[in-house]
Amino acid sequence: MPTPLPDQAVFLRASLEEQAARFAPLAAAYLHAWRLPVALTDVEGSVVAGELPCAAHCAARHDCAATHRRAIEEAVRWGEPSILLCLAHHVLWAVPVMENARVLGGLVSVNVEGAGDDATAPLPARDIRRAVADLLAAAARANLTNLALLELRRLAAERESQRAEAIHELKGQSYGTIRDVYLVEEPALIAAIKGGDKAAAREILNRILVGIYFLGRDRPLLLKSFLLELIVMMTRSAVEAGGDPTELLGANYSAFSELAQIEGEEELCTWLVAMLERVMDAIRSNARYPVSVLLGRAIAYMQEHLHEEISRDDVAAVACLSPSHFSRVIKGHFGQSFTELLNKMRVEKARELLIRTEKSLIQICLECGFSEQSYFTKVFQRYIGRPPGEFRRMHRAVV
C-alpha cells in the first residue's frame, strides 16, 4: 500500500472523518460484546478515533502505528482480517476501512488486559477467531469496508498461492510438450475426481495450467484443443463416479461456447476451475453417488476448514449422509471417531506449521482450529508424544 501524496493524504483524511460517525456505534457495540476496544486508524496506522488500552503503558508504543499499518496492509492483500503479534507480544487484528476500492485506514483491536476501573482479562484464545470475524461483519454492516472486494482479493490470493505451489512442483519436471504435461498429470486428476477430492483436483489443474499455458502460449488454438480434451476426460471420469450424464453434457455444451471467447491466462484459469466445480457438483447431486466418494468429499471439506469450528453434523451434511450413518462410515473406514480423526488432522497441520514456519504457538493453535492453547498442547502431546514447543525445539536441533 503506497504512501499517499500530500493532496491524496488530505483527501483520505477527509474521507476517513466522514466514516467516524459510523465508527462510534460500532466501537460501542464491539466493546459491549467482547469487552475489547476498537480504534479507527488512517492508512499510516495512526489512531484517529477510539483508543487502545495498551498504548499508554506499552514499551513499544512508538512502533504501534507501523504495526497497525502492516496489519491493514496484510488484510487488504489477503482479503480477510489479519491477525498478528505486536512488538509487545499482544495478539492484534485489523479490518481495512474502505470507500469503494480505496483504502482509507483500518479498524484495529488488540487482545490485552484492560486498565482502571473497567479492567478485564485478555480474551481466551478459543474466542479470538469469533471476535475477529465479528469485527469484519460489524464493519460490513456499518458500510465501513468493501466485503465484495475483500472476497475477490481472498480468492485471488488463494489462486496465486496455488499457482506458486504448482510452479514450484513443476520446476523439477522436464516437460517438452503439452502432451507430456497432460499424460503425466491425467491419472492423478482422474483419481481425484473419482474420489471426490476437490482440493487435490484443483492442485492438479493448477499444475496442468502452468505447464500447458507456458508451452502453448504462442499456440492458442493448440492450447484450447488440449483443454477441450481435458474437459472431456473430466466429464468421463465424473460419469464413471456416478455423475448425471445429461447434466454434464449440458455443462460441457455451455463451457465450449465460453472457451471460444477466452484469451487471457487469468480468465482461462477461472473458467477451468469453474468447470471442475460443475463436474464435482454433478457427481455429488446424483443419487447414485458412491459412499466412498462422499467420504472423500467429507475429508476434503475437513482439510479445507480445519481452522474453523466444524462439527460432525456439519461434515455429514457436506457428505449428504445422516450424522449417525456418517459416524459409522468414519469408524468403518478409519477405525476412529469423527472427533479423533479431526484432532489427528489438526495435529498433522500443526506439526507442519511448527516445522516450516516461525508462527507463534497461539497463532498455530488458532489456525489449526483448537479452542484454546492448553487443549492444543494436550492433544498434540497425545498424538506426537511431546508438547508442541518441545517438538519444535527438537526438530530445529536436528536440522
Model confidence pLDDT, tens digit, residues 139-152 = 999 999 999 999 88
Verify that 93 and 13 share a domain, yes or no.
yes
Written as nine digits, the cell of 171 is 520446476
Lowest mean pLDDT: which of 211-220, 298-307, 344-353?
A: 211-220
DSSP state of 110: E
Q: If you average pLDDT over every residue of the chain, what do you get?
A: 78
- Cα-Cα-Cα-Cα dihedral of 137, 130, 363, 307, to 10°? -90
CB 316 within 8 A of CB 289: no
pLDDT grade for 284, boundaries at 50, 70 and 90 = low
Task: Tell me: pLDDT of 399 over 50.
Answer: no
Verify that 216 and 162 share a domain, yes or no.
yes
For the segment 9-29, the average pLDDT, to the nearest whole number, is 74
With a pLDDT cut of 90, the percent of the chain lying above it is: 28
The pLDDT tens digits of the residues spanning 181-203 come to 667 777 887 777 776 677 777 77
In angstroms, rounded to a whole number, what is the distance separating the alpha carbons of residues 122 and 35?
9
Verify that 227 and 191 share a domain, yes or no.
yes
Asked whether residue 299 is domain-assigned, the answer is no
The whole-number pLDDT of residue 160 equals: 65
Q: Where do the DSSP E strands lie in the chain? A: 39-42, 47-49, 82-85, 91-99, 102-111
- Compute CA distances 344 → 235, 380, 388, whole Å: 34, 9, 14
In angstroms, rounded to a whole number, what is the distance separating the alpha carbons of residues 136 and 66?
21
Task: Tell me: pLDDT of 123 over 90.
Answer: no
Point out the domain boundary residue: 145, 170, 200. Answer: 145
Task: Tell me: pLDDT of 328 over 90.
Answer: no
Count of C-beta atoms within a 10 Å radius of residue 28:
13
Contacts of 314 by beta carbon, 8 Å cutoff, 6+ apart = none
Verify that 111 and 223 share a domain, yes or no.
no
Lowest mean pLDDT: which of 92-101, 106-115, 187-196, 210-219?
A: 210-219
Point out the domain boundary residue: 92, 121, 145. Answer: 145
The pLDDT tens digits of the residues spanning 156-170 come to 777 666 655 555 555
Asked whether residue 168 is domain-assigned, the answer is yes
Asked whether residue 384 is domain-assigned, the answer is yes
Total number of domains constituting the chain: 3
Task: Tell me: pLDDT of 251 over 60.
Answer: yes
Point out the domain boundary residue: 127, 145, 163. Answer: 145
Asked whether residue 348 is domain-assigned, the answer is yes
Asked whether residue 244 is domain-assigned, the answer is yes
Enclosing domain of residue 48: 6-145
Asked whether residue 124 is domain-assigned, the answer is yes
